[in-house]
Structure 1
Amino acid sequence: MAEGLDTAGYEVWVTDVDAEALADCPATWQRHLASAADETAMRGVFAQMDGLDVLCANAGIAGPTALVEDIALEDWRACVSVNLEGAFLAAKYAAPLMKAARRGVITVTSSTAGIYGYPNRAPYAAAKWAVIGLMKTLAMELGPFGIRANAICPGAVEGPRMEGVLAREAAAKGMTRDQVYEGYAVGTSMRAFVEARDIADMAVFLASDQARMVSGQVIAVDGHTENPDPKV
């Protein structure tokens, strides 16, 4: 998303808890080492901004892969904190900046797990459903100020994060990594994983004037998920 918005001509600010990932970002980007779930840190980042056109509340963690009765409360809270409270804090501190300009775009990252639910991923699914409720409320509250809010729901996205999910699900289900991968792929109409650029393209579109009347929407970029419980 950052690369896509950079290409589209935006000045990019990124936050992350991974110092190495930030170091790999272009030097032209404003880079901040901060947790999305840390209110003090997030308040500090937004306090440095003179204005804000587009917010992508994208921070998230996979959380535990286990049956609900086997999930520790601390693991539940950690997952919900980053995925839901991180989006809330970003919106909380972005809203005044956008209201002052009477324009802006907020895009939160949900998931197809926030549309269908997901076995063995209760805290993640719950958080991703909740961010959709947050987004729809933001659209209603902020629309009179010319601010739009939408949610992107990625499916299975190629990359290291998904590889971790595949490994954990394979272990939990007694399957191989390749079996779980195939289950995800055949569970979509397109029979393929999504690529990061597909999500970025949607974020850039939602930020553009071409989407000027698109608000309060839940948009899946997933190749049309047919089966929310991947299996062979």
Structure 2
Amino acid sequence: MKRVLITAGASGIGRAMGEGFAEAGFEIWATDVDAAGLADLPKTWHGHQASATDEAAMADVVAQMGSIDVLCANAGIAGPTALIEDVALDYFRACVSVNLEGAFIAAKHAAPLMKAAGSGSIIITSSTAGIYGYPNRAPYAAAKWAMIGLMKTLAMELGPFGIRANAICPGSVEGPRMEGVLTREAAAKGMTRDQVYDGYASGTSMRSFVEARDIANMAVFLGSEGARLVSGQVIAVDGHTENPDPKL
């Protein structure tokens, strides 16, 4: 049975990825800092409480797996919503650490197992913030752009070993994390939460937020044989973002 490791796999996009890969016949390994979320995972999944930035813990999980076919480096935090002059350096560093360092650590320890197998798929969850500049989101956008650079390098470095690397860039995803962004952005712009929500939705050609399952469906495809020659790609699942700075 093929094995997938999903960081931040206890809820949201990570949980949806796990469900999608389970339907595709994979054995699911998930890490997360949320103990309650891990306890709620299906009993057939392997859940491990570990921060994506804890290299020793992540290395231990990968070692326990023994083999890994797909890595979903999905862990991330939204970071602060503020003008650049109002962002504390500690908050910037925390955002970059979880998003960028988390993906780096997971890939670093998955790569040797994939090299030994002569195959593998690394899927990094970036963001449309990794494609556009996003006002009031400097730490997050910086981290997500850097994750795409990491992915491009992995694709070149690991391709000769039969390993693919790609980045999924979700747009505005329904769920608790985006609700926090909407609330903070509304306060920063003197708008209501619903005004900001409508602004984000109207900034896409599909006029819609996306669901976690939409991201999961793309991840399952990228982890499949059907995507055997898809590597080094930045794939937005966002309903086609036209305006990264929604205004009414």
The TM-score with structure 1 as length reference comes to 0.99
1:156-183 deviation line (CA, Å, top 9, x unaligned): 0111111111111111111100000000
Structure 2: gaps (5+ residues): 1-16
Deviation at 1:17, TM superposition (A): 0.5
State yes or no: 1:169 paired with 2:195.
no
Which residue is equivalent to 1:82?
Answer: 98
1:98-113 superposed matches below 5 A = 98-113=114-129
2:209 and 2:40 map into 1 onto residues whose CA distance is: 25
SS of the residue corresponding to residue 116 of structure 1 reads coil
1:125 aligns with 2:103: no
State whether structure 2 residue 157 is matched by structure 1 residue 141. Answer: yes
Q: Which amino acid aligns with 2:210?
A: V
Listed one character per residue, the Cα deviations across residues 63-88 of structure 1 (whole Å, up to 9, x for unaligned) are 01101111111000000000000000
Equivalent pairs, count: 232
* Amino acid corresponding to residue 38 of structure 1 in structure 2: D
1:34 match:
50
Structure 1: segments with no counterpart, 5+ residues? none
Q: Which amino acid aligns with 2:20?
A: G
Partner-residue secondary structure (3-state), 1:152? strand
Amino acid in structure 2 at the alignment position of 1:129: W
Deviation at 1:189, TM superposition (A): 0.1
Cα distance in structure 2, aligned partners of 1:183 and 1:61? 22
Provide the C-alpha distance between the structure 2 equivalents of 1:23 and 1:50, rounded to a whole number of angstroms. Answer: 23
Residue of 10, 13, 23 corresponding to 2:39: 23
1:210 matches 2:210: no
Q: 1:46 aligns with which of 39, 62, 79?
A: 62
Decide which moves more: 105-114 or 33-42: 33-42
Aligned: 1:62 with 2:81: no
C-alpha separation between the residues in 1 aligned to 2:64 and 2:240?
A: 40
Q: Among the aligned pairs, what percent are the same residue?
A: 80
Match of residue 159 from structure 1: 175
Following superposition, which runs of at least 4 residues in structure 1 exceed 2 angstroms of deviation?
Answer: none
How far has the Cα of 1:218 moved from its partner? 0.2
